[in-house]
Amino acid sequence: MQPVIDIHIHIQPLHMFRPQALAMIKRGRKDYADVERYSADPRLFLKFLDGLGIERAGLINYVSPEIMGFTPEVNEWIAKYCAAAPDRLLAFGSVLPRTVADAGAEVDRLAKLGIRALKLHPSHQVITPNSYRDGCAALAAVYERAQANGLPLMIHTGTSIFPGARNVHAQPILCDDVGIDFPNLTVILAHGGRPLWMEEAFFLVRRHKNMHMDISGIPPQKLLEYFPRIAEIADKVLWGTDWPGPGVPEITGNLEKFRALPLREDAKRKILYDNAARMFPR
């Protein structure tokens, strides 16, 4: 079986969640007890990945004190978690400028801590991706230091239904400036702007040499409807699920449905593995 990387899984410190946000995760979810067990023990989570045939996983964490409840300590938490198997677990952390004294230095510190990539969640962090052009110098420092440390930056794009999420910040086109001003920064537009702004995401991935996208959170049966020309950008698309996010019941069915899509086998292989493997060399 061909190896697979799920670049977008939320293994998070559940104890930090605000009650309203945690209720969103639990709502209608039959496997919440598993989410708890996996979050508590990376060895159990690795067994779960083994059963799914998933070689590596990007574990997404970000600072969002007001809306989600996550403080900068999420970085220590996920770095420690992933240290159990650094060859298989990719720690995504984050630097939210207003929560640290020196945002650039914080990126350097996270790189040393074992964080492999950064996540910016504009709608949960209430920050606009291009606001460095509008006075937020600390955000430019985050991008500069991420670029210098070779840390890819995942930027959430598309709607979120978590209580308090401010979707005005999540439009992909706001990342066009990032592609212009930080051309060597590897960017992943999470969710390809779904379900409202797919054309913007597709445009940016084609326009900027280091801009990629992941297809997490998109029901696979909708993928070709959302991105009819996805084969043209098959070198810059990463597979992921967004499990256990709202609307993502489980991983296996997602993978099977993706494999069944009428796409060329080489495009599927790139999306399921090659592109992420190139971005995160062992």
Token couple for 7: 């670049």
Shortest Cβ 80–Zn ion spacing (Å): 21
Q: How far apart are CA 61 and CA 12, in angstroms?
A: 6
In which residue are the tokens 């900027």 written? 208
Q: Find out whether 79 and 112 touch, Cβ atoms under 8 Å.
A: no
Q: List 94's β-bridge partners, or say none.
A: none
Q: How far apart are CA 269 and CA 227, in angstroms?
A: 17
- Complex with Zn ion: residue 106 or 242, whichever CB lies closer: 242
Shortest Cβ 59–Zn ion spacing (Å): 11
Site for Zn ion in 205-264 (CB under 5 A): 242
Shortest Cβ 112–Zn ion spacing (Å): 25
- Complex with Zn ion: residue 200 or 242, whichever CB lies closer: 242
H-only helix segments in 118-186 = 122-125, 137-149, 176-181
- Complex with Zn ion: residue 191 or 208, whichever CB lies closer: 191
What is the radius of gyration, based on Cα positions, of the chain?
17
Site for Zn ion in 51-110 (CB under 5 A): none
Q: How far apart are CA 165 and CA 219, in angstroms?
A: 21
Shortest Cβ 254–Zn ion spacing (Å): 14
Shortest Cβ 181–Zn ion spacing (Å): 25
- Complex with Zn ion: residue 4 or 155, whichever CB lies closer: 155
Shortest Cβ 17–Zn ion spacing (Å): 14
In which residue are the tokens 């590596």 written? 56
Burial level of 127, CB count in 10 A (0-12/13-18/19+)? buried
- Complex with Zn ion: residue 6 or 242, whichever CB lies closer: 242
The residues binding Zn ion (CB under 5 A) are 242
